[in-house]
């Protein structure tokens, strides 16, 4: 395979990881050969690169080599197409039938297109089939399933092209649809859009064009309960229900990504796809229209309120769209932002009532839809008005804690740090940059400013220095003294200048300006100062403004506070200022970014519900809590044997001694095989299909097992006493053969208070946040330990000696939350216990304290994917997030916009994971480590990561270009992006950032959303915060919450109440309608409603209250009122009402 | 004494009375005395007077003489002068709604005895100035949920509701088959061998009556039904080979009550159906005589919506006032005695997401005020009856009560408000008004029933003797003690709306009218490709039940 290009140190790093991994695999192989695991060896194949991953994921031998060969000369997409063809032609792998070969070919191609990570190729494609055209020829149909969604539009569309390419290779004709089939597609896609949703809905003509011309029949399995109303019972379409996978591939794939397919069609010169031209020109004309609109006016950043949609109670709005007082955009990247994560000053998190914590997702106005939040304290914090009338900016977190009780209004919520790469990735025009220090200093240097002056001094100059520099070098006024002039109108400006001229007193060597407080307040001048973010204090009835000279000059006043001008000529205040002052003043906050809370951060163990310790089925014998102890003492009837339970379980047989068992391994040491039988004929056959009737055979049946003895034996074997607080199993196995895990594993898990997931692993979920650099001090690890782990030098090449030095994080290293570390520590102890007590081998970790976890190997795995990524633990953070290198997140196919995924102990995965436990249903193979990526190649991670900028500063031209709202693509080639470093050793090293942060864990530990109790409490807090923030209209928030959360909830529950199903409390049987007998038809148990009066009414009172208090629109008020009447009519008896109290007296 | 008079007598005294009880009283030889007797002796705690509250033996022992007084005259004969209008029971066809040229309508000739009617007409005027129907001229509400809702949302209420449906509908079927309780079949099965041993001969022929709880197709393409009665549930197989039967079975919908005759399989686990019996309307039923004049049926006015067709609506109001160029129309308008509106008077608020963007009037009460303004323009000789629909400001769950006081008070007193559904008697012609929410379900479930021909859905209702059989789908229900959706007694006219398409049909002497809308195509309808037929109004001649369709 092609070696990854990396420096010697990085190669060493990878080698260390891999050798440790190999060692661990050996240990596990040895252990597994001794226990009762499904297989005597590790079940997660390793993949060094994409080729390996594809081969392991799909399981066609020889594919990896072919991929490597094809990739030498072709692009990824071309290689994928060629690969499909070669597989179909049988160059690699062996298949029983033509359709099997086609199916495999399509799968490998899609796998390759999706980097071999997501589950789409295995779960999203059900099968490929061959059907008959009306003229007798054959055609290929591909059956898509719901999870094809995870492949993304391009890969979905290309999978169809692959199908076509492949069918030509094996000589099958095209699909010739019947007329009614075409109409069926139209009806079905429209229906799918109604019941689910589509990013893009093609018009009827587009659908007709696609279906009539597409050479492959796009079919699918039914995913929705809805059925089409017309076009039912068609010969060649197996279902009347809606096929979600089909709709996705056709609409979001073929229709939306037509230009991309066309590119490949042209390159490969495939005929029969000429209709794409028509599809593209058809859709293009619409695009042209919008293009013309743009030309008419000069580029402008318009407010977007999409992020405000579907507001939920308890998740506050921090700023309305582009509103003064909202987040001020600042360009740059800190070591814990980029890749859809943005930074704000942690004091802002505190001041905004703790709603934002590191890792909290914010829905933002731009550039993307959402962003994970990270603390960056080198940017400006919020500016607040205190109860005393003082206006202060809070940049330091200790100040924030001191002052938070005093805050009367949050005039400005501070800056938000967003990197250029995120604008590039989202293809969002560059919004005008504020005049900030990074820009100013470049102009200063360009103007020939004194290079010897320390940068720190220039960051925070005195008023005299700032004015001197402006005068001497002709650079614009320093950002420190630039106020938000664009937020006020000319009349306010004039009033302010006059007021200061008349009432101002300049004293203490012109370092303090005093203004009379009462007059300033009543005239509105005080408010103007607040809006300008001119900081001031109130003392002795006077407003004190420190370092006022630049401010005074900007107002066009002289040292004696005399006004030097008479009238204002321009419309814009800033234009006027630049006319009357001697220095240039730039816009300080031209771009504001609206935001609201998305979902809270997460750092918690993964638990199924109810959370089992072991995958062992006990049906109802353990009660609702699934307690194994109860099952062990269960008695079916008074005379029944204690601990004998009836469960659905797989039957296995030992090929050596013929003993039947439920375990993977016979006591004689031989591995057992499922004892298959036909569920229809009842005959026992060792084949997948019944030879008599063709039904699929199974080994599962309802059987009585002596659970008590299994239970007792297991405890005996591991030498533990039956003293566990809680020890739970599952109701029913979801796997195909329904063979349970060894109970011993569960005992030890329960002992260490660990829960298992559906595949036998122990997992911990955390919000993803990127991290490119660490300081030893902040991650709780000593320099010595880090040196052991290969961290020799800091970013400046100095040897690591001081815990405050900044180090470049290695790509597969992780910084996790303390809670996660503790959970992993317990997992390590559990693994050791398993080794010693169950497998009877030596312990591996011998871990006692949290510090022992540093350096252990982990596996990262994201939902909807099937490939784990090897990682290593290097440190801890108090923040409730999983910090890792952006490449690591990208390798899992995640960005950092507030999503979460899991880590697990590598050893746990190796030892306890088995495909045999995976649910035998659609989607069952998702979120399972079917392969493990051992070495992270930046070229093979999600391409989004290639747009991360890693430079130390942004060029002057960049800041200037933002003023004309340039397209980010202009800078794609000049910026220091990952994409420019690919294939060189620098792809792993020497990353930089523009803004530092002193602590990656600063800010609240948990979002207030998680600490507040009821929904009503959350809503109250949300509205209280809304009232405090200037950029938020609390009554609009209230109305939106009512409209998008409470009203639909009440409305929906009312509907649900009147259409509800019922449920038996005893056996859980569900009824669409209450049985006429009144009680459960299956067990005679009591049947109850599933929707209760309380659920319907729960938000009514708070809705009424909020509607009144925040004076929402009368429309919304009336809606609430009507719902109230509706509830009353439904839940109150008219006739008991008529009988008043007096009737009883 | 007529049925209406009996009802009014009890209403005035503050009682409701069941139709059965009314029949009993009317059929008695001296109804007036009987009414007095009942009112004197009735227990005050009783709210609805049922048959069991009428103690005939003691009445007859107390009033032995009264029999003579009224003897000879049947209650029917002593009724209105209106009954002089010639009977027209031979009316079979309805004017084709597709081609409704008004001027060509043959129903324009005024009935004989017009003069008499005229005089009576004025007398109605006099009466209707005071509080509408209660004072008793010619509208009477025979059943309606308003102020009778007992539901508080408990599980047992749901059970009772469905049991009530079962008992009412199964009684209709029971006359035609000898059905056995389902439990008895299960018992036999448990003892093994089905009915084989006990019966002998044609042992396995059984009949059951059950509520359908599941319908599915088997792997071999047969239909499998699960039927349920208050004793248990049982499976019924309809064989694909039995073409006609299978066809019938494909129309079976959830939660309707049907009878099945068939044979038990050997193991006694299911019945193979031979015959399916629906409650249905009786084949022979005497037609009520009807009355004179005409009634106008409409619905789905959607006042307040930006797609409300105000211009067309106003010309309709002009027509009611006799203000139209066409003389025939003018004449026609004079004949109109009733205006019946089956729901969705206004567009409402918050009915669907984003509705505020499709409204001209955002305030719900302003919408009704506007409606009231329109109705004040309707001439006073026309009686107006309004029931609510799913857009109206009453509870969504059906049966819906009439509008609350706050809304009715906006209107003139002469308007009669009823619930949904409601059975009203228009001077002898019984009209069952139901908004028609369930048509959505019926269209989705019964092959061949579509939005273009809503009358077909309504005929399916009549066959099932139920307005809204399917539970848990689009219709919200309130679990009341009585199933108000059961069609009993059989009306002369079934009037629905909701789907915004005109449909007129006839099934065994019942006229089914879906009265269209006054709203042009909405955004939602555009999306689902429904073409409404707005501003078309069916007018029914109450003596012949002949229907004419007017376009505005």
Query: Is residue A42 within 8 Å of A28, Cβ to Cβ?
Result: yes
Given a cut of 50, whether residue A1145 has pLDDT beyond it is no
Mean of pLDDT values over B496-515 = 93
The closest CB to that of A1132, out of B152, B159, B232, belongs to: B152
Tell me how long chain B is: 552
What is the spatial distance between Cα A214 and Cα A624, in angstroms, rounded to a whole number?
52
The closest CB to that of A1125, out of B162, B356, B395, belongs to: B395
Query: Is residue A1088 within 8 Å of B155, Cβ to Cβ?
Result: yes
Mean pLDDT for chain A?
A: 91
Chains A and B form CB pairs within 8 A to the count of: 133
Chain A nearest CA to B471, separation (Å): 7
Q: Do A1059 and B475 touch (CB under 8 A)?
A: yes
Q: Do B151 and A1077 touch (CB under 8 A)?
A: no
Query: Is residue B2 within 8 Å of B75, Cβ to Cβ?
Result: yes
Q: Do A1118 and B166 touch (CB under 8 A)?
A: no
Mean of pLDDT values over B410-427 = 93
Q: Do B395 and A1088 touch (CB under 8 A)?
A: no
Confidence at B75, pLDDT banded by 50, 70, 90:
very low
Instruction: Give the pLDDT confidence of A1040-1068 residue by residue, as tens digits.
Output: 999 999 999 999 999 999 999 999 988 77
What is the spatial distance between Cα A53 and Cα A941, in angstroms, rounded to a whole number?
12
Cα nearest neighbour of B214 on chain A: A1072
Q: What are the boundaries of each domain within chain B?
A: 3-79, 116-129+139-151+286-551, 156-277
Q: Do A1059 and B153 touch (CB under 8 A)?
A: no
Phi-psi region of A715 (alpha: psi -120 to 50; beta: other; left: phi over 0): alpha
Chain B nearest CA to A1127, separation (Å): 7
The closest CB to that of B153, out of A1071, A1076, A1093, belongs to: A1093
How confident is the model at residue A453, as a pLDDT?
Answer: 82
What is the spatial distance between Cα A500 and Cα A506, in angstroms, rounded to a whole number?
10
Mean of pLDDT values over A717-743 = 92
Taking CB atoms and an 8 Å cutoff, what residues of chain A touch B353?
1048
Taking CB atoms and an 8 Å cutoff, what residues of chain B touch A229?
443-444
What is the spatial distance between Cα A828 and Cα A757, in angstroms, rounded to a whole number?
17
**In this prediction, does ipTM exceed 0.90?**
no
SS3 of chain B: helix, strand, coil, percent, to 5: 30, 20, 45
The closest CB to that of B162, out of A1074, A1125, A1129, belongs to: A1074
Fold of the CATH domain B116-129+139-151+286-551: Purple Acid Phosphatase; chain A, domain 2 (3.60.21)
Query: Is residue A906 within 8 Å of A857, Cβ to Cβ?
Result: yes
Taking CB atoms and an 8 Å cutoff, what residues of chain A touch B478?
1058, 1129-1130
Q: Do A1122 and B393 touch (CB under 8 A)?
A: yes
Question: In A283-406, at which residue ranges do the beta strands (DSSP E only) sit?
Answer: 317-319, 327-331, 341-344, 361-364, 370-375, 383-386, 391-393
How confident is the model at residue A1141, as a pLDDT?
Answer: 47
Mean of pLDDT values over B151-155 = 88
The closest CB to that of A1057, out of B153, B254, B255, belongs to: B153
Which tokens in the block code for residue A1062? 């019922």
Confidence at A285, pLDDT banded by 50, 70, 90:
very low
Given a cut of 50, whether residue A339 has pLDDT beyond it is yes
Cα nearest neighbour of A1080 on chain B: B232
Instruction: Give the pLDDT confidence of A771-814 residue by residue, as tens digits.
Output: 999 999 999 999 999 999 999 999 999 999 999 999 999 999 99
Instruction: Give the pLDDT confidence of A608-663 residue by residue, as tens digits.
Output: 888 999 999 998 888 888 899 999 999 888 888 999 999 999 999 999 999 999 99
A813's enclosing H/E stretch is: strand A813-817
Contacts with B178 (C-beta within 8 Å, 6 or more apart), sequence order: B207
Taking CB atoms and an 8 Å cutoff, what residues of chain B touch A1062?
155, 158
Mean of pLDDT values over A364-383 = 95
Describe the strand order of the beta sheet including B139-144 as a list of residue ranges.
B139-144, B422-426, B429-433, B493-496, B510-515, B502-507
* DSSP SS3 for A546: strand
Taking CB atoms and an 8 Å cutoff, what residues of chain A touch B226?
none
How far CA B101 is from CA of A788, B95, B98, B536, in Å, comes to 96, 9, 9, 11
How confident is the model at residue A942, as a pLDDT?
Answer: 86
What is the spatial distance between Cα A823 and Cα A604, in angstroms, rounded to a whole number?
9
Cα nearest neighbour of B233 on chain A: A1081
Contacts with B170 (C-beta within 8 Å, 6 or more apart), sequence order: B179, B209, B229, B257, B259
Given a cut of 60, whether residue B116 has pLDDT beyond it is no
Cα nearest neighbour of A1078 on chain B: B159
Most A CBs within 10 A among B14, B44, B158, hence the mutation to make, goes to B158
SS3 of chain A: helix, strand, coil, percent, to 5: 40, 15, 45
Question: In B1-91, at which residue ranges do the beta strands (DSSP E only) sit?
Answer: 16-17, 48-49
Given a cut of 70, whether residue A944 has pLDDT beyond it is yes
Chain B nearest CA to A1060, separation (Å): 6
Cis peptide, bond prior to residue B489, ω within 30 of zero? yes
Q: Do B231 and A1077 touch (CB under 8 A)?
A: yes
Cα nearest neighbour of B362 on chain A: A1115
The closest CB to that of B151, out of A1088, A1118, A1130, belongs to: A1130
Instruction: Between A397 and A449, name the one with better pLDDT.
Output: A397
Confidence at A351, pLDDT banded by 50, 70, 90:
very high
How confident is the model at residue B121, as a pLDDT?
Answer: 35
Name residue, tokens 């391009």: A154
Write down the H helix ranges in B154-255.
155-174, 182-190, 196-199, 243-249
Q: Do A1076 and B153 touch (CB under 8 A)?
A: no
How confident is the model at residue B402, as a pLDDT?
Answer: 92
How confident is the model at residue B188, as a pLDDT?
Answer: 61
What is the spatial distance between Cα B229 and Cα B247, in angstroms, rounded to a whole number?
24
How confident is the model at residue B203, as a pLDDT?
Answer: 55
Chain A contact residues (CB < 8 Å to B): 190, 194, 229, 1047-1048, 1051, 1054-1055, 1057-1062, 1071-1078, 1081, 1087-1089, 1093, 1114-1115, 1118-1119, 1122-1123, 1125-1126, 1129-1136, 1138
Instruction: Give the pLDDT confidence of A38-75 residue by residue, as tens digits.
Output: 999 999 999 988 899 999 888 888 899 999 998 888 88
CATH number of B156-277: 2.40.50.140
């Amino acid at each position: 395979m092609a070696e990854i290009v990396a420096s010697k140190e990085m190669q060493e790093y990878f080698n260390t990881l891999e050798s440790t991994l190999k060692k661990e695999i050996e240990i596990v192989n040895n252990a597994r050969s001794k226990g009762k695991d499904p297989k005597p060896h590790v079940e997660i194949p390793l993949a060094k690169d994409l080729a390996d991953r594809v081969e392991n994921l799909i399981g066609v031998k020889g594919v990896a080599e072919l991929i490597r060969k094809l990739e030498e000369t072709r692009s990824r997409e071309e290689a994928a197409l060629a690969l499909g063809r070669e597989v179909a032609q049988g160059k690699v792998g062996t298949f029983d039938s033509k359709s099997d070969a086609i199916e495999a070919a399509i799968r490998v191609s899609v796998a390759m297109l999706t980097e071999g990570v997501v589950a789409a190729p295995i779960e999203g494609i059900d099968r490929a089939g061959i059907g008959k055209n009306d003229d007798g020829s054959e055609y290929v149909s591909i059956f898509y399933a719901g999870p094809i969604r995870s492949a993304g539009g391009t890969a979905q569309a290309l999978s169809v092209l692959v199908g076509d390419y492949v069918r030509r290779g094996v000589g099958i004709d095209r699909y010739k649809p019947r007329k009614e089939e075409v109409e069926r597609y139209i009806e079905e896609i429209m229906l799918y859009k109604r019941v689910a949703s589509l990013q893009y809905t093609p018009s009827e003509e587009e659908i007709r064009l696609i279906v009539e011309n597409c050479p492959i029949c796009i079919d699918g399995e039914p995913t929705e309960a809805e059925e089409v109303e017309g076009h039912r019972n068609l010969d060649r379409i197996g279902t009347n229900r809606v096929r979600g996978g089909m709709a996705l591939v056709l609409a979001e794939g073929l229709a939306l990504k037509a230009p991309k397919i066309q590119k490949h069609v042209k390159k490969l010169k495939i005929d029969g796809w000429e209709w794409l031209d028509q599809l593209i020109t058809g859709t293009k004309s619409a695009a042209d229209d919008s293009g013309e609109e743009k030309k008419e006016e000069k580029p402008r950043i318009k407010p977007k309120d999409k992020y405000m949609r579907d507001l939920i109670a308890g998740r506050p709005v921090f700023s309305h769209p582009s509103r003064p007082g909202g987040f001020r955009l600042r360009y740059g990247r800190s070591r814990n932002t980029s890749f859809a994560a943005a930074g704000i000053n942690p004091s802002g998190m505190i001041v905004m009532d703790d709603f934002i914590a590191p890792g909290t997702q914010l829905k933002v106005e731009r550039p993307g839809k959402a962003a994970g939040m990270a603390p960056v304290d080198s940017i400006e914090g919020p500016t607040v008005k205190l109860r005393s009338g003082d206006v202060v900016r809070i940049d330091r977190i200790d100040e924030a804690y001191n002052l938070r009780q005093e805050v009367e209004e949050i005039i400005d919520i501070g800056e938000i740090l967003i990197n250029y790469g995120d604008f590039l990735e989202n293809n969002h025009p560059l919004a005008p940059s504020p005049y900030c220090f990074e820009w100013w200093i470049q102009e200063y240097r360009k103007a020939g400013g004194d290079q010897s002056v320390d940068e720190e001094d220039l960051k925070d100059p005195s008023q005299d220095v700032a004015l001197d520099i402006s005068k001497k070098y002709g650079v614009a006024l320093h950002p420190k003294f630039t106020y938000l002039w664009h937020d006020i109108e000319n009349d306010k400006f004039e009033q302010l200048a006059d007021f200061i001229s008349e009432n101002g007193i300049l004293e203490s060597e012109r370092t303090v300006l005093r203004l009379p407080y009462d007059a300033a307040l009543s005239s509105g001048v005080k408010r103007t100062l607040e809006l300008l973010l001119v900081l001031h204090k109130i003392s002795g009835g006077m407003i004190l403004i420190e370092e006022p000279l630049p401010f005074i000059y900007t107002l066009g006043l002289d040292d004696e506070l005399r006004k030097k001008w008479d009238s204002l000529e321009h419309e814009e205040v800033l234009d006027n200022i630049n006319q009357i002052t001697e220095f240039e003043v730039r816009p300080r906050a031209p771009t504001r970014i609206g935001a609201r809370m998305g979902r809270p951060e997460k750092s918690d163990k993964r638990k199924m519900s109810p959370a089992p310790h072991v995958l062992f089925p006990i049906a109802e014998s353990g009660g609702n809590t699934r307690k194994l102890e109860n099952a062990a003492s269960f008695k079916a009837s008074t005379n029944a044997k204690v601990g004998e339970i009836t469960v659905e379980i797989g039957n296995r047989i030992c090929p050596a001694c013929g003993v039947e068992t439920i375990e993977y391994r016979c006591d004689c040491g031989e591995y057992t095989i499922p004892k298959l039988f036909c569920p229809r004929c009842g005959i026992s056959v060792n084949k997948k299909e019944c030879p008599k009737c063709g039904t699929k055979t199974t080994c599962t049946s309802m059987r009585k097992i002596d659970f008590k003895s299994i239970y007792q034996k297991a405890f005996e074997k591991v030498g533990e006493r039956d003293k566990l607080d809680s020890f739970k199993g599952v109701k029913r196995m979801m796997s195909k053969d329904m063979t349970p895990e060894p109970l011993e594993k569960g005992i030890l898990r329960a002992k260490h208070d660990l829960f298992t997931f559906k595949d036998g692993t122990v997992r911990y979920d955390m919000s993803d946040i990127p991290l490119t650099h660490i300081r030893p001090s902040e991650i709780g690890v000593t320099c010595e330990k880090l040196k052991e782990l290969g961290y020799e030098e800091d970013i400046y090449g100095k040897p690591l000696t001081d815990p405050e030095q900044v180090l470049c994080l290695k790509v597969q290293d992780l910084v996790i939350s303390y809670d996660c570390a503790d959970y992993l520590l317990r997992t390590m102890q559990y693994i050791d216990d398993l080794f010693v007590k169950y497998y009877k081998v030596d312990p591996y970790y011998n871990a006692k304290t949290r510090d022992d976890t540093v350096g252990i190997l982990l596996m990262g795995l994201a939902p909807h994917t099937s490939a784990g990524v090897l990682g290593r633990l290097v440190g801890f953070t108090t923040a409730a997030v999983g910090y890792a290198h952006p490449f690591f997140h990208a390798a899992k196919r995640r960005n950092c916009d507030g999503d979460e995924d899991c880590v697990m102990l590598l050893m746990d995965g190796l030892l306890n994971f088995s495909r045999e436990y995976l649910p035998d249903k659609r989607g069952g193979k998702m979120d399972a480590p079917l392969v493990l990526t051992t070495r992270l190649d930046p070229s093979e991670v999600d391409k989004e990561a290639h747009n991360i900028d890693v430079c130390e500063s942004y060029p002057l031209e960049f800041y200037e270009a933002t003023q004309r709202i340039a397209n980010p693509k202009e800078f794609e080639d000049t910026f220091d992006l990952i994409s420019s470093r690919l294939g060189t050793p620098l792809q792993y090293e020497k990353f930089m950032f523009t803004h530092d942060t002193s602590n990656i864990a600063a800010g609240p530990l948990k979002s207030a959303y998680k600490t507040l109790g009821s929904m009503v409490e959350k809503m109250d807090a949300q509205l209280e915060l809304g009232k405090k923030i200037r950029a938020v209209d609390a009554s609009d928030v209230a109305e939106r919450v009512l409209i998008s959360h409470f009203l639909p909830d009440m409305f929906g529950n009312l509907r649900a109440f009147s259409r509800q199903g019922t449920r038996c409390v005893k056996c859980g049987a569900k009824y669409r309608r209450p049985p006429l007998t009144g009680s459960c038809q299956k067990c005679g148990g009591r049947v109850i409603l599933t929707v209760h009066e309380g659920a319907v009414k729960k938000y009514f009172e708070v809705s009424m209250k909020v509607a009144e208090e925040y004076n929402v629109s009368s429309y919304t008020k009336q809606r609430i009122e009507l719902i109230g009447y509706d509830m009353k009519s439904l839940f109150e008896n008219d006739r008991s009402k008529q009988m008043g109290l007096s009737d009883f007296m | 004494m007529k049925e209406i008079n009996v009802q009014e007598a009890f209403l005035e005294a503050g009682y409701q009375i069941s139709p059965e009880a009314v029949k009993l009283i009317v059929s008695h030889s001296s109804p007036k005395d009987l009414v007095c007797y009942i009112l004197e002796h009735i227990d005050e705690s009783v709210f609805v007077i049922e048959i069991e509250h009428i103690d005939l033996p003691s009445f007859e022992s107390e009033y032995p003489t009264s029999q003579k007084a009224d003897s000879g005259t049947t209650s029917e004969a002593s009724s209105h002068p209106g009954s002089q209008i010639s009977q027209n029971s031979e009316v079979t066809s309805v004017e084709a709604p597709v081609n409704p040229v008004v001027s060509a309508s043959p129903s324009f000739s005024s009935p004989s005895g017009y003069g008499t009617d005229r005089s009576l007409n004025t007398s109605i005027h006099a009466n209707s100035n005071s509080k509408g129907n209660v004072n008793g001229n010619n509208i009477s509400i025979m059943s309606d949920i308003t102020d009778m809702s007992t539901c508080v949302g408990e599980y047992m209420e749901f059970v009772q509701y469905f049991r009530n449906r079962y008992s009412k509908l199964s009684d209709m079927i029971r006359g035609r088959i000898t059905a056995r309780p389902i439990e008895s079949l299960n018992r036999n099965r448990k003892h093994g061998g089905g009915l084989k041993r006990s019966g002998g001969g044609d042992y396995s022929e059984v009949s059951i009556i059950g509520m359908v709880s599941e319908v599915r197709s088997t792997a071999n393409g047969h239909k499998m039904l699960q039927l349920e009665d208050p004793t248990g549930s049982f499976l019924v197989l309809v064989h694909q080979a039995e073409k006609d039967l299978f066809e019938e079975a494909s129309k079976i919908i959830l939660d309707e009550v049907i009878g099945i005759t068939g044979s038990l399989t050997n193991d006694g686990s299911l019945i193979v159906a031979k015959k399916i019996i629906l409650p249905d309307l009786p084949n022979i039923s005497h037609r009520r005589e009807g009355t004179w004049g005409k009634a106008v049926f409409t619905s789905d006015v959607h006042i307040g919506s930006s797609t409300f067709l105000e211009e067309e609506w106003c010309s309709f109001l002009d027509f009611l006032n006799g203000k139209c160029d066409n003389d025939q129309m003018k004449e026609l308008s004079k004949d109109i005695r009733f205006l019946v509106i089956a729901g969705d008077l206004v567009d409402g608020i918050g009915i669907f997401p984003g509705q505020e963007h499709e409204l001209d009037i955002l305030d719900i009460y302003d919408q009704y005020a506007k409606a009231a303004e329109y109705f004040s323009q309707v001439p006073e000789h026309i009686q107006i009856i309004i029931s609510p629909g799913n857009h109206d400001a009453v509870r969504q769950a059906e049966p819906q009560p009439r509008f609350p006081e706050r809304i009715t008070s906006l209107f003139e007193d002469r308007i009669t408000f009823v619930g949904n559904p409601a059975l009203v008697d228009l001077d002898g012609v019984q009209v069952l008004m139901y908004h028609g929410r369930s048509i959505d379900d019926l269209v989705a479930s019964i092959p061949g029933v579509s939005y273009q021909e809503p009358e077909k859905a309504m005929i399916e209702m009549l066959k099932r003797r139920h307005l809204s059989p399917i539970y848990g789908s689009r219709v919200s229900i309130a679990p009341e003690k009585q199933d108000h959706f059961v069609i009993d007694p059989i009306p002369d006219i079934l009037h629905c709306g909701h789907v915004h398409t005109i449909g007129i049909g006839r099934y065994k002497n019942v006229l089914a009218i879906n009265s269209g809308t006054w709203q042009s195509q909405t955004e939602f309808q555009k999306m689902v490709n429904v073409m409404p037929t707005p501003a078309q109004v069916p007018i029914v001649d109450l003596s012949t039940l002949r229907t004419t369709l007017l376009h505005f």
